[in-house]
Amino acid sequence: MLRFLLFSFRRAWQGFWRNLVMSLAATVTMTLMLLMLAGLVIGLSGMDAGLRFVEQKVEVQAFIADGAPQAQVDALVAQVRALPEVSQVVYLDKQQALAQWQQQLREQGKPDYSSETGTNPIPASIQVKLKDPHVYGSVIQTLQSAHGVVTDVLQTQQVVDALLTVTGFLRTAGLVILGLVGITVLFIVINTIRLAVVARGEEIEIMRLVGASDAFIRWPFIFEGILVGLLGAAITLGILGLAAQPIGQAVATLVGQVPIQFDQDLAQQLVLVVGGAGIALGGVGAFISVRTYLIR
């Protein structure tokens, strides 16, 4: 078994170099495809993180009219809290709301001019967290029906829904493009390995005649395909490794308050996805090629 593996690896290696131009073409295409794949994974995980962040935020927010009687406000809070869909209700009075806003400004590094006005422009609000962010029940109606107390009801869910539509579209479009590129890569690998098979036609014939088993004839080519995939994956991960720092910074400046992190998890996921896709495409392409041109 070990001999078989060594033999196959050695011949795969020789085959790769013997047919260098085609091997490199396959590797470069593979790399491009894997880069797209990595981009998709990063983008989607970023969007997912953004979505989770938005969903975590207050889901329904009702702004309280200035000067509404505190008793009515308290009653409304109690009424909403009693609803079965609600997990948590927080009442922020004008001072707390202002303080929170000022803190957000500080976190984003923006200048705070609120002290200039002398008055507090921020309304008090009731912030409602739902048990399931997609099930409102009668929360909205309850809040809206409190005329004179509530000026406006803001549903974060609408934002989330819009985001979901966008991410869903991007995901589908990305997967379609990726699929097309994947098929292209597959054909290039098939062709590369086919050339390798043709180049070794004489050897293959001799191997058959002296009684080499199918595995000995076939696996070197499959390993050659896997080699292309591995090399493509390695180059892709290398590029990503070099680019991780600048990309991270770019994303941080683009979407400042969404805490997207390029952490260990994402890196691991990328290594698995990119490596797996490379090996699978290379191996499957070579397998198909060998099946089509070698078996008789």
Partner 1 sequence: MSTSPPRIAGAIAASAAVHISRDAAPLAPSSTDAAPATRRISLALEDVSKVYPNGRRALADVDLVVPDGDFVFLVGPSGAGKSTLIKLLIRDELATSGTVFVAGRDVSRLSRRDVPRLRRRIGIVFQDYKLLPHKSVRENVAFALEVTGTPGRQILPAVERVLALVGLTAQADQLPSQLSGGEQQRTAIARALVHEPRVIIADEPTGNLDPLISWEIIQLLLRINELGTTVLMATHNAEVVTALRRRVVALEDGRVVRDEVGGYHREY
Residue ranges binding partner 1 (CB under 8 A): 3-4, 7, 202-203, 205-214, 216-217
Nearer to partner 1, 71 or 295 (CB): 295
AA identity, residue 227: L
Backbone angles phi, psi at 147, to 5 degrees: -65, 145
Nearer to partner 1, 94 or 208 (CB): 208
Compute how many other C-beta atoms are within 10 angstroms of the C-beta atom of residue 246: 9
Question: Smallest gap, in angstroms, from Cβ of residue 49 to partner 1?
Answer: 52
Token pair 């974060």: residue: 156
Q: For residue 201, what is the enclosing H or E element?
A: helix 201-209
Nearer to partner 1, 85 or 203 (CB): 203
Nearer to partner 1, 175 or 212 (CB): 212
Question: Smallest gap, in angstroms, from Cβ of residue 201 to partner 1?
Answer: 11
Question: Smallest gap, in angstroms, from Cβ of residue 229 to partner 1?
Answer: 25
Contact 42, 244 (CB under 8 A): no
Question: Smallest gap, in angstroms, from Cβ of residue 214 to partner 1?
Answer: 7
DSSP string, 137-188: TTHHHHHHT-TTTEEEEEEHHHHHHHHHHHHHHHHHHHHHHHHHHHHHHHHH
> What is the Cα–Cα distance from 221 to 203, expressed in whole angstroms?
13
Question: Smallest gap, in angstroms, from Cβ of residue 293 to partner 1?
Answer: 17
Nearer to partner 1, 71 or 210 (CB): 210
Nearer to partner 1, 202 or 263 (CB): 202
The dihedral of CA 235, 237, 240, 244: what is its sign?
A: negative
CA distances from 40 to 34, 238, 272 (A): 10, 17, 14
Q: For residue 61, what is the enclosing H or E element?
A: strand 60-64
3-state secondary structure of 86: strand
Six-digit token pair at 111? 């200048």
Question: Smallest gap, in angstroms, from Cβ of residue 296 to partner 1?
Answer: 10
Token pair 């390995």: residue: 193
Nearer to partner 1, 84 or 211 (CB): 211
Question: Smallest gap, in angstroms, from Cβ of residue 21 to partner 1?
Answer: 19
> What is the Cα–Cα distance from 188 to 193, expressed in whole angstroms?
9
Nearer to partner 1, 3 or 147 (CB): 3
> What is the Cα–Cα distance from 11 to 33, expressed in whole angstroms?
26
Question: Smallest gap, in angstroms, from Cβ of residue 1 to partner 1?
Answer: 9
